[in-house]
Amino acid sequence: MAKSKKTVKNDKKQTDEIKPDLSLALTVADFDVTLLDKIDVYALFYAVRKNHYHFVLNISESSESDNPGNSVIRQYHIPRYRAASVAQAIDGASFPAGSLYQPLELTNSLNCVNLGLAITREKKLALVAYSESFAIEPDSGTTPMGQAFPLDGKNGKKLLENLKADVLLLKKVNKSMHKVKSQFSLDGVETPHGNAVSSKNKKIVEAILFEQMLLKKLNAEKFGIYSLFSSFTDFPNDAVLESVVGEIWAHYDLFEINFQSTWYIDLVARVFKCLGVPMSGQNDLSLIGDKQMKDLGSAIKKLDSEKIIMLAMMLGMHNAQTFVALGLACGLIDANIYANALSRYQPDSEEEQILRIEASYIALFRGLTQN
């Protein structure tokens, strides 16, 4: 028997009501995450991994939109050292509750949903999902508009406990740091080539010690700050630089075919400006000629060794397009934008997760070595 129009309408209403719940269940199953909370159209999930936190934000379209029940997924892979540093900074700050905000990602993206930690006006630690159309300085004391997810509910207990434990671990790391003259070093810790883990940069050594205490053992084959530092220390800069410049040219040939969006054209212009190279044709990439690319190559040769090793990693491991890799190395885009530009995989696939985790550590390495 055919259904009446009234029955069909009621079925549609029921479908609209079920879809969001189904979407949440699928997110949990696909990404192996736990629902922290659902507030309005935002559902935030999390998982505590060995060396990072994995957050998944599911933004569902309301029943009044053109595509009711559809969802947009955004992922964040935050190294636990970075999360602990942000949580410690908030915990020890003198800002009034509700006014302090710290981004978890090192580079905030315009017109995207970013993620941060904040103390709410109720003096609760919360994750904040927000979209910003203007830049916010991390230490400005400005609270961006966004959706707060307090961590004191039953679903956030594991996350809150791990964050607190990571803060305590970071404090232990700080007490264990050794400085001889102007160098910070780790006793008995070497790179695979036998070089000491030592640097004038306290933060980079601190991050490696945190990684060692968290994982119990350092392994350069497991991608993280220690492996990046080892590559930076163990391989001659001249050899890496020669390889990078060659890769820059190889990956340049791809861009006209695969990248034509407005954001990409803007990124190319910002990379040229960042490296101090005049660019022909601000809105037409086809006008970029061999001379501009030669000048770009010369500018790349003047980059510091840390950026060179980052470029080598991105070009070698991810087959990253020239300007996307330069964008992340120069801090013009965040790890998520980088991964979105390169991804060829299903969002929940192992390959996608590896790409995003590695990108998050490259971004962290940049933040630790450039500040």
Q: When comparing pLDDT for 368 and 20, which is higher?
A: 368
With cut-offs at 50, 70 and 90, classify the pLDDT of residue 119: confident
Q: What pLDDT is attached to residue 252?
A: 61
Domain boundary, last residue among 196, 224, 252: 224
What CATH number corresponds to the domain at position 113? 2.30.31
Per-residue pLDDT at 10 exceeds 60: no
DSSP designation for 286: G
User: Does one domain contain both 220 and 297?
Assistant: no
Q: Distance from CA of residue 291 to its chain's centroid?
A: 33
Q: What pLDDT is attached to residue 254?
A: 47
Q: Strand, coil or helix: what is 158?
A: helix
CB 193 within 8 Å of CB 234: yes
How does pLDDT run across 23-82, given as a tens digit for each residue? 889 999 999 999 999 988 889 999 999 999 999 999 887 654 555 567 888 999 999 999
User: Does one domain contain both 104 and 205?
Assistant: no
Average pLDDT on 265-280 reads 87
Range in 9-13, 87-91, 161-165, 190-194 the model is least confident about: 9-13
Residue 151 covered by a domain = yes
Q: Alpha-carbon distance 122 to 320, whole Å?
A: 44
User: Does one domain contain both 138 and 211?
Assistant: no
Cα dihedral 330, 331, 335, 336, rounded to 10, equals -120
Per-residue pLDDT at 9 exceeds 50: no
User: Does one domain contain both 80 and 21?
Assistant: yes
User: Does one domain contain both 278 and 360?
Assistant: yes
Query: E strands of the chain, at which residues?
Result: 34-39, 42-48, 52-60, 71-79, 101-103, 113-119, 125-131, 147-150, 178-180, 183-190, 196-199
The overall average pLDDT reported for the chain is 80
User: Does one domain contain both 191 and 275?
Assistant: no
Q: What pLDDT is attached to residue 291?
A: 83
Q: Strand, coil or helix: what is 134?
A: coil
Q: What pLDDT is attached to residue 209?
A: 95
Residue 51 covered by a domain = yes
Residue 58 covered by a domain = yes
Q: Alpha-carbon distance 307 to 370, whole Å?
A: 9
- Angle (nearest 5°) at CA 93 between 88 and 97: 110
Q: Alpha-carbon distance 312 to 228, whole Å?
A: 11
Per-residue pLDDT at 362 exceeds 60: yes
Helix axes 80-91, 157-176, angle to 10 degrees: 90
User: Does one domain contain both 23 and 155?
Assistant: yes
Q: What pLDDT is attached to residue 246?
A: 73
The whole domain housing 186 covers: 182-224
User: Does one domain contain both 102 and 21?
Assistant: yes
Pairing mode of beta strands 52-60, 71-79: antiparallel
Q: Alpha-carbon distance 104 to 74, whole Å?
A: 14
CB 86 within 8 Å of CB 115: no
First-last CA distance in the chain: 70
Number of domains the chain is built from = 3
Q: Alpha-carbon distance 191 to 275, whole Å?
A: 31
Instruction: Fill in the amino acid letter for 138.
Output: P
How does pLDDT run across 338-349, given as a tens digit for each residue? 998 888 899 999
Per-residue pLDDT at 134 exceeds 70: no
Q: Which of 17-31, 196-210, 309-323 has the highest mean pLDDT?
A: 196-210
Q: What pLDDT is attached to residue 67?
A: 58
Average pLDDT on 134-143 reads 38
User: Does one domain contain both 200 and 147?
Assistant: no
Residue 8 covered by a domain = no
Per-residue pLDDT at 258 exceeds 70: no
Cα dihedral 117, 121, 123, 128, rounded to 10, equals -20
With cut-offs at 50, 70 and 90, classify the pLDDT of residue 148: confident
Q: Alpha-carbon distance 18 to 72, whole Å?
A: 17
Q: Alpha-carbon distance 229 to 195, whole Å?
A: 11
Q: What pLDDT is attached to residue 7?
A: 32
Per the DSSP assignment, residues forming a β-bridge with 282 are none
Residue 169 covered by a domain = no
Q: What pLDDT is attached to residue 49?
A: 96
Range in 30-39, 242-251, 263-272 the model is least confident about: 242-251
Range in 118-127, 243-252, 289-298 the model is least confident about: 243-252
With cut-offs at 50, 70 and 90, classify the pLDDT of residue 255: low
The percent of residues in the chain predicted with pLDDT above 90, rounded, is: 40
Average pLDDT on 222-239 reads 88
The percent of residues in the chain predicted with pLDDT above 70, rounded, is: 78
Number of other residues whose CB lies within 10 A of the CB of residue 100 = 19
Residue 276 covered by a domain = yes
Burial environment of residue 284 by CB neighbours within 10 A (0 to 12, 13 to 18, 19 or more): exposed
DSSP designation for 364: H
Per-residue pLDDT at 12 exceeds 60: no
User: Cβ neighbours of residue 188 under 8 Å, at least 6 residues apart?
Assistant: none
Average pLDDT on 175-198 reads 88
Q: What pLDDT is attached to residue 167?
A: 94
Instruction: Fill in the amino acid letter for 239.
Output: A
Identify the residue whose tokens are 């990046």.
228
Q: When comparing pLDDT for 289 and 48, which is higher?
A: 48
